[in-house]
Amino acid sequence: MSAIDAAVIGCSAGGLSALQQILAFLRPDLGIAIVIVSHTGPESANLLPELIGHSCRLPVSEAQEREPVAPGRVYFAPPNYHLLIEPDRTFRLSVDACVCFVRPAANVLFISAADAYRQRLAGLVLTGANADGARGLRAIADLGGICLVQAPETAVADAMPRAALLAVPEAKVVRLEAIAGELDTLCR
Amino acid sequence: MSATEADILDIEVSLFLEALFRRYGYDFRHYAQASIKRRVKALACVLGVPSVSELIARTLRDRSLLPEILAQLSVPVTEMFRDPAVFKLLRDQVLPVLASWPRLKIWQAGCASGEEVYSLAILLDEEGLLERSQIYATDINDSALKKAEAGIFPLSIFDDAERRYRLSGGRRPFSDYSTSAHGFFRMHQHLREHIAFAHHNLVCDGVFCEVQLVLCRNVLIYFDRELQEDVLRLFHDSLGRGGFLCLGTRESLRHGETGGDYAVVDKEHRIFRRAERAVP
């Protein structure tokens, strides 16, 4: 039985190709929800679900307000909104101020998801040029969740994984090419 | 924070909201939980209290904290011409219809510090409707209302605002609408005199007049389903027949029992129009 019900992922600079590499290798019956914050411009149309959808065998969509977080699906935060998960495991949006200069912020998603899923959650911080995700990953670790960080030497921008490792030294460091396999193992 | 501490915090947050309601009548109990919890934690941090329990004690006894509490718990963030495509649609599709009314009343619910209501006033001005328009801009956050009424914004937001104004179909120099000095710009009096700023609480206050356009963007996302329904009913009851409702681009009418009385003007940008005749 799967050790987790959901995985939350945060990424920024270099994130698109890292996500493609990871999501393309996930099996369609993975059985957990995957929720992603990727920093994009505030007025950009949300092209990520479509871009990623081409290479991913799980259904990919933008998270809708009040939608239940369903297993076996991949969700992206909409541009210019924070994405949160409520205790009843439904999505919520907010236009609260930027966190770490970004909206959506991985920290906001991670902290709310840690509350909603406790130890049934994995948090993953990928490539990026700022410190978003570190505080959120700490919250996931504190509530018993599983913490993964992309090995900085495999990241296009290593600031985000390095900041995450400073905040959560006990997180498991995984090379980009091994992340899909790691998620797969957690779900068996 | 351990799992036990997290459980305790959940209890504290819910007790704090109960205390705020019973002591002062402000009801945040039907706000979406994850967001309101973030804000209560931020409030404790701003006030320098070590725990939400202590925040409860201070809230109950110190009424002078109330403005700060409301400021931290309500929605403080807006931008001028946020989602320029929405303003373009208002300009191209909604205002030409509204132009057929001899006098226009517009309600912006949850105006925060006013960036959006000035954007709307600029649109009305450019389409020749401002002179016969009355805009009501309401919020529960009095300190934000005060800022909105002053109409003074930091110059640091000017360039982004101008860029979005252009994307929304604006044709004049954006600087025509304000005077700048000392790192700030102030919106011109002729825009401000058509806006009435007022305290109104969507949770408990009712209809105050009949309007032809309700603009309420990114406020409903903070409410639970029940409160969303109540507020959508309030908007419906405030809108005259043939009036327009504009929500945030990720909000919807789908659960609303009043939803059936609207036609969709633009699905993607969440602009709706109340039916001109009662459905038999």
- Give per-residue pLDDT as tens, B170-193: 989 999 999 999 999 999 999 999
Instruction: Output the DSSP codes for chain A.
Output: --S-SEEEEEE-TTHHHHHHHHHTTS-TT--SEEEEEE---TTS---HHHHHHTT-SS-EEEPPTT-B--TT-EEEPPTTSEEEE-TTSBEEEE-PPPBTTBSS-HHHHHHHHHHHHGGGEEEEE-S-SS-TTHHHHHHHHHTT-EEEEE-GGG-SS-HHHHHHHHH-TTSEEE-HHHHHHHHHHHT-
Give pLDDT tens digits for B203-215: 999 999 999 999 9
Is pLDDT of B280 > 70? no
Q: Which of A5, A12, A112, A158 is catalytic?
A: A12
Give ipTM to 2 decimals: 0.90
Residues B8-37, mean pLDDT to the nearest whole number: 96
Please tell me which residue of chain A has the smallest CA distance to B82.
A43
CA B82 to chain centre: 12
- pLDDT of B75: 64
Yes or no, beta carbons of A81 and B167 under 8 Å apart: no
Give pLDDT tens digits for B132-150: 999 999 999 998 999 999 9
Tell me the pLDDT band of A48, cut-offs 50, 70 and 90.
confident
Tell me the pLDDT band of B258, cut-offs 50, 70 and 90.
confident
User: From the CA of A25, how many Å to the nearest CA of chain B?
Assistant: 30
Yes or no, beta carbons of A92 and B32 under 8 Å apart: yes
User: From the CA of B86, how many Å to the nearest CA of chain A?
Assistant: 12
- pLDDT of B76: 64
- pLDDT of A44: 64
* Chain B residues within 8 A of A97 when measuring between CB atoms: 76-77
Give me chain B's average pLDDT, please.
93
Yes or no, beta carbons of A143 and B83 under 8 Å apart: no
Is pLDDT of B256 > 70? no
Is pLDDT of B278 > 90? no
* Chain B residues within 8 A of A114 when measuring between CB atoms: 6
Based on the residue annotation, tell me whether A39 is a catalytic residue of this protein.
yes
Give me chain A's average pLDDT, please.
94
Is pLDDT of A53 > 70? yes
Yes or no, beta carbons of A84 and B222 under 8 Å apart: no
Name the strand (E) or helix (H) holding B107: strand B104-109
- pLDDT of B215: 97
Tell me the pLDDT band of A40, cut-offs 50, 70 and 90.
confident
Give pLDDT tens digits for A140-161: 999 999 999 999 999 999 999 9
Based on the residue annotation, tell me whether A142 is a catalytic residue of this protein.
no
Based on the residue annotation, tell me whether A12 is a catalytic residue of this protein.
yes
Residues A28-43, mean pLDDT to the nearest whole number: 88
Give dist(CA A32, CA B122) in Å, integer: 48
Residues B58-71, mean pLDDT to the nearest whole number: 94
Yes or no, beta carbons of A95 and B77 under 8 Å apart: yes
